[in-house]
Amino acid sequence: MLEVLADSFPQLLEGLKFTIGLTILSLILGSLLGLLLAVGRSYGKPPLSSFILIYEKVFRGIPLLVIFFLIFFGLSQLGLGLDPITAAVLGLGLRSAAYQAQIYRSAINSIPKGQMTAALSLGMPKLKSVRYIILPQVLRLSIPGWSNELTIVLKDTSIAFSIGVIELMRQGRYVYVRDPDLILPVLLIIALIYFILVISASKGLNYLEKKYKMAGFEVGVER
Amino acid sequence: MHMLEVKDVHKSYGDLEVLKGISFTMEKGETKVIIGTSGTGKSTLLRCINQLDSPDKGKVWLDGEEITNPATDINKIRQKIGFVFQEFNLFNHLTALRNVSIGLEKVKGMDKEKAQERAMAELTRVGLKEQVQQYPAQLSGGQKQRVGIARALAMDPMVILFDEPTSALDPELIGDVLDVMKTLAGEISMLVVTHEMGFARNVANEIIFMEGGIIVESGPPKQMFQHPEKARTKEFLGKISTLYGKE
């Protein structure tokens, strides 16, 4: 049995590549869009900010599986057929954006109003003030929340299995369907792989959080 | 032509009329001190000058240019009007040096090295040569406020507005900030809202006493302290002198 397990390992690694790829692409989409949504909701005027609010509510209110099915099967019925990977990145990314917007917005809210006032009083246009004064602080304060979001996206790539993305979970299924005796060991290995990934990612981000801390603004330290 | 002219400025927040028609002028190199009880619109007046708040009525000119005109590029104007805040408002993620240089870089388009050189010079001028690499949270209140002053100075403004620059400081730190401000008097125009009567008496060319959204009386310190025309001015100065002491 160990031999069969060892033989199937390259297959699992192949799936792992897609799991990691999906995670990275979804996070890029989620972060960029999430940041735009947060800035739009904090600094934008009513039509824009209410539209963003609706977006956030919708994507936080629907299960990921339903989002996947809507994007993959639903859109294809409307003639917009997407390949499974694109659909998975869209689903994960769009949902993550809704959650990340919350993370960034709470960071924006925690930044004293005077920061913006001071930037404006130097003659800095509003957009530049956001870019050079507000955003750098927002990003630093967002690292803990973002780290949490990363682990959620990473783990939820496994749901992409349901729309046919051949990621870690699906490759594992291929292995134990061939040899049903392996179902428990293979699932345990898959669980372990996810666990190791999540732990290492959190460690890495912990390091970033320390490196980019603002003196006197460490999370958890009294000001 | 006056360097700064404020004419009949009104400002309300909801039903509350904070400024009820303020007019005064300032010339180059002058130091004017605005005094008055809290809530009489002194801070609002400063914010209406650099358009952080826009007046409901009335006009403001800087160097002949009407800055209350919506067609004016307010970002250009604000470069010429320094602002020093009661709560310092230093950029928390930047060192003292970068706090001062960032405006030069991102607003005036100076290259990074030149901007930092200039920032270094301004920080030295306010006595913070040793603290340039520290973050705001690592500085004392008095040091923070001096960074705030250096940040305003670096932009080469025509006038600096000070909004109660020492009100958030421990009494023993106030002196450092006032000393820096004294060295600037005459070199740069300053409009200072403060309760520091010693500073007003010794440094100001003119004291403006505001109450209830209007200017009650204004004049040179000697006249204001010794022969105020209005009874209310006399009463206020008497009270505040016992509170804050005479220098």
β-pairing verdict for B4-13 and B16-26: antiparallel
CB B192 within 8 A of CB B33: yes
Domain residue spans in chain A? 2-211
Beta bridge partners of B193: B34, B163
For chain A, what's the residue count? Answer: 223
Decide if A124 and B83 are in contact by the 8 Å CB cutoff.
Answer: no
B238 falls in which pLDDT band (50, 70, 90)?
confident
Candidate from B78, B89, B90 with C-beta closest to A123 = B78
pLDDT at A51: 93
Q: Is the dihedral of CA A205, A112, B189, B240 positive or negative?
A: negative
Please determine, for residue A192, whether its predicted confidence score (pLDDT) is greater than 80.
yes
- H-only helix segments in B94-230: 96-106, 112-125, 141-154, 171-184, 197-203, 221-226
CA B236 to chain centre: 21
pLDDT of residue B38: 84
pLDDT at B244: 62
B192 within 8 A of B163, measured Cβ to Cβ:
no
CATH of domain B1-80+160-247: 3.40.50.300
Given a cut of 80, is residue A2 above it in pLDDT?
Answer: no
Q: Is the pLDDT score of A97 beyond 70? A: yes
Q: Is residue B174 pLDDT above 60, yes or no? A: yes
Chain A residues whose beta carbon lies within 8 Å of the beta carbon of residue B77: 123
Q: Hey, CA dihedral for B72, B73, B78, B79, is it positive or negative?
A: negative
> B79 to chain A: which residues are within 8 Å by CB?
122-123
Chain A touched by B41 (CB under 8 Å): no
pLDDT category of residue B239 using cuts at 50, 70 and 90: confident
User: What's the burial of B180, exposed, middle or buried (CB within 10 Å: 0-12/13-18/19+)?
Assistant: buried
What does the pLDDT read at residue A42? 87
User: Residue A128: is its pLDDT beyond 50?
Assistant: yes
Which residue has better confidence, A217 or B205? Answer: B205
User: Which tens digit of pLDDT belongs to each residue from B46-55?
Assistant: 999 999 999 9
Residue range A4-58, pLDDT digits in tens: 778 888 999 999 999 999 999 999 999 999 999 999 998 888 899 899 999 999 9
Global pTM reads 0.83
Residue A164 three-state SS: coil
Contact yes or no for B236/B36 (Cβ under 8 A) = yes
At the second CATH level, the architecture of A2-211 is Orthogonal Bundle (1.10)
Domain parsing of chain B, residue ranges = 1-80+160-247, 90-156
Instruction: State whether A124 and B107 contact (CB < 8 Å).
Output: yes
Q: How many CB pairs under 8 A join A and B?
A: 76
Across the interface, whether the CB atoms of B93 and A118 are under 8 A apart is answered: no
Q: Does A123 touch chain B (CB under 8 A)?
A: yes
Measured between CB atoms, which of A121, A128, A133 is closest to B78? A121
